[in-house]
Chains A and B, each alone.
Chain A
């Protein structure tokens, strides 16, 4: 491990200034991801700027929805989150383990790196980690990799659960950066790999997520996260589905469906939403939505199963949310 400097920031602007000033500086929040990445060599910072003391820990309900501080802990336990945003509470609880959830932060969760084995194992080539070296996953074991949104340079999936839930809730992130403040929809935070898989998000160097805003929507309260994985604790999703539903008099007025574990970013299944909107919310409509959710899937040699898993998971998530 390369030596690096460690400093603690006491205000958001100190933090942004410190990281912006140094190309090799990185933020350190909870540490559950960055400490691993530094130890294993996927990240080799010159400086870690610890933002753990910044006052970004509040979860607040206000007229325009729910604001979640980027450093809020155990958001999934917050009573208003559980009541108003069940999909987010379920997604948060499904992630990692109690020990990790005690430390992890929402901002860090959104910016965690892929769990693709070939990204994590630094002995393999990886365009995401070292641009131009190639993608070992394309010809390797790609069971866990993407069926949507990949490119010939990278087929990694984004591992976050809450990003999928937040996408289904039309959430946005607020950032402070060297160029000022801005608001970015969670779905648009992530770039598809294309021919630059190393550029994972639209954030500038030094731009810091300070809060997540979930707007009030008629579908947030009736929402659900279904996560399918190889073992019931700690493991990341093979396929996950976040659904949020507004049914009026038996007819789907509005709906959001986002998929996890299948793409380099949370994958909004718009064709599946279209299959439901304006129709009776019944078994036929749910089956049509499941079918539509697989539109455009491009499976790799080892993950053909994800296509069928997506179809069934969407149907099941929609059936489970119906009774709520």
Chain B
């Protein structure tokens, strides 16, 4: 089948998509967007988190056909050229990245949280990131990064 959707602001069209493929597979293998990661492939780890019509979803659980005609934003779509998104910048500065596999999903989930909440409390951050597993950091540096990004966003 042919799949048409808008990805990171661009209209994309790919042919020979198989309906059993996930949106994650289409993004990574057919559109050359490897930012979203394939880890658990069951919706538990959040590494594949992207925006679908403005809400974060696990792209591994979205069948390719379900994305037809919809808008997708991946982690690649958050930076403005070379200018990192404030969430990305905060993750770099606070050392919230170790192996980096969970990072794209955490960036998208955090980006969404800060779109909805100015200066979220720690419980709100934990709840918002409950769908993203990290096996390296112990989450402390991630929480530091989220707080830093929230502070900068609030004063900007």
Contact surface of A with B, Cβ cutoff 8 Å: 1, 3-6, 8, 28, 31-32, 34-36, 38-39, 48, 50, 52, 96-100, 102-103, 232-234
Chain B residue at smallest Cβ distance from A1 = B20
- Residues in B whose Cβ lies below 8 Å from that of A3: 18, 20
- Residues in A whose Cβ lies below 8 Å from that of B49: 99
Give Cα A43 to B50, complex, Å: 26
- Residues in B whose Cβ lies below 8 Å from that of A31: 61-63, 66
User: Are B41 and A39 within 8 A (Cβ)?
Assistant: yes
User: Are B61 and A98 within 8 A (Cβ)?
Assistant: no
A54 to chain B, nearest CB (A): 13
User: Are A98 and B62 within 8 A (Cβ)?
Assistant: no
Q: Is B46 an interface residue (CB 8 A)?
A: yes
Q: B63 touches which one: A6, A100, A234 (CB < 8 A)?
A: A6
User: Are A6 and B43 within 8 A (Cβ)?
Assistant: no
11 A-B pairs (CB sep. < 8 Å): A1-B20, A35-B22, A35-B61, A35-B62, A48-B63, A97-B46, A99-B57, A99-B58, A100-B61, A103-B62, A233-B130
Give Cα A174 to B100, complex, Å: 46
Q: A32 touches which one: B18, B43, B55 (CB < 8 A)?
A: B43
User: Are B57 and A103 within 8 A (Cβ)?
Assistant: yes
- Residues in A whose Cβ lies below 8 Å from that of B130: 97-98, 232-234
Q: A96 touches which one: B56, B128, B131, B132 (CB < 8 A)?
A: B131
- Residues in B whose Cβ lies below 8 Å from that of A52: 66
- Residues in A whose Cβ lies below 8 Å from that of B128: 98
Q: Is B42 an interface residue (CB 8 A)?
A: yes
User: Are B20 and A36 within 8 A (Cβ)?
Assistant: no
Q: Is B65 an interface residue (CB 8 A)?
A: yes
A30 to chain B, nearest CB (A): 8
Chain B contact-residue range equals: 20 to 34
Closest 9 CB pairs of A and B: A97-B131, A6-B19, A233-B130, A102-B55, A6-B65, A99-B131, A32-B61, A99-B58, A103-B57
- Residues in B whose Cβ lies below 8 Å from that of A102: 55-57
User: Are B65 and A99 within 8 A (Cβ)?
Assistant: no
Give Cα A28 to B66, complex, Å: 9
User: Are B19 and A48 within 8 A (Cβ)?
Assistant: yes
Chain B residues numbered 33-81 whose CB sits less than 8 Å from any CB in chain A: 41-44, 46, 49, 52, 55-58, 60-63, 65-66, 68
Q: Do A35 and B131 contact each other (CB < 8 Å), given the known contacts A99-B43, A99-B46? A: no
- Residues in A whose Cβ lies below 8 Å from that of B131: 96-100, 233-234
Give Cα A4 to B42, complex, Å: 20
Give Cα A8 to B128, complex, Å: 32
Q: Is B155 an interface residue (CB 8 A)?
A: no
A8 to chain B, nearest CB (A): 7
Q: Is B1 an interface residue (CB 8 A)?
A: yes
Give Cα A162 to B132, complex, Å: 23
- Residues in A whose Cβ lies below 8 Å from that of B19: 4-6, 48
